[in-house]
Amino acid sequence: MHAWPPASRPVARIGDDVHIWRLSLEGSAALAERLVETLSSGERRRAERFRFARDRDRFVVVRGVLRGLLGRYLDRDPGTLRFRYGPNGKPALRDDGFLRFNVSHSRRIALVAVAAGREVGVDVEEIRGDLDVDGLSRVFSAAERASLAALTGNGRRRAVFGCWTCKEAYAKARGEGLSLPLHRFSVGVPPRDPAALVGDEDHPDDWRRWVLAELVVGPDHAAALAIEAPDPRPRIRCWRWVPEELEPVKEPQR
């Protein structure tokens, strides 16, 4: 079980740990109005392309908080940070290759994972009752489908979402996203099994390279973290981000 004490900024040096920040995306409009000034001109243009105001506000909050956190870790003005993107869209800092991060959000919750010198991937999903979980699980590996076969009802639905978040966190950590064939690697199926990379047909030794962890973020969500983590296993530290101590921002990067 992960505790999520409130904080508005990093409260410790990251070292060999992995830091996870949970953000609430409910009632984002006022915070988005404040954070939009930290975004680059390109990010503002992306925000303006959202059809619905709530989606625009959530995008602004996630990007603004991400910039604020990374700026704190690096002791830099968040508005000056510049990003680059891998072949499959994974973001990284353009001029700092040591600090790594990943972001995921559902409709109400966002997670930001930050690590130093190791790749990370994170995923959070709302456990929706209207989603065809049998259809979703068809893209899973044979071993995962076998693990799910004995489950029914809400237990099966939660397990499918638990499996999905582990798989997506791993794919994101690798920088491949959903271009990685989901049926060619297997994970443990939380909460039935411990989160773990069981096997990858294309990378047979990678079970030694990656650690997976289930993140408990609330009864209506599933979440998972993938960490590039040769022994020893890194410590995972979790905080609930709160905006009360947000400081005034400087002029954004153009």
> What is the tens place of the pLDDT at every residue in 109-142?
999 999 999 999 999 999 999 989 999 999 999 9
Encode pLDDT of 142-173 as tens digits: 999 999 998 999 999 999 999 999 999 999 99
Q: What is the pTM of this model?
A: 0.92
Domain spanning 1-118+234-254: CATH superfamily: 4'-phosphopantetheinyl transferase domain (3.90.470.20)
Is the domain spanning 120-229 CATH 3.40.47.10? The answer is: no
Report the C-alpha gap between 167 and 199 in whole angstroms.
11
One-letter identity of residue 142: A
Q: Say if 1-118+234-254 and 120-229 have the same CATH topology.
A: yes
End-to-end CA distance of the chain: 42
Q: What is d(CA 32, CA 27) in angstroms, rounded to the nearest whole number?
A: 9
Report the C-alpha gap between 47 and 58 in whole angstroms: 9
**Residues 201-215: tens digit of each pLDDT:** 998 988 889 999 999
Question: Rounded mean pLDDT of 180-184?
Answer: 91
Tell me whether strands 197-200 and 221-228 are parallel, antiparallel or unpaired.
unpaired
Task: Tell me the domain boundaries of the chain.
Answer: 1-118+234-254, 120-229
- As a whole number, mean pLDDT of residues 4-16 equals 90
pLDDT digits (tens, 9 = 90+) for 76-110: 999 999 999 989 889 999 988 789 999 999 989 99
How far, rounded to the nearest angstrom, does the alpha carbon of residue 250 sit from its chain's CA centroid?
27
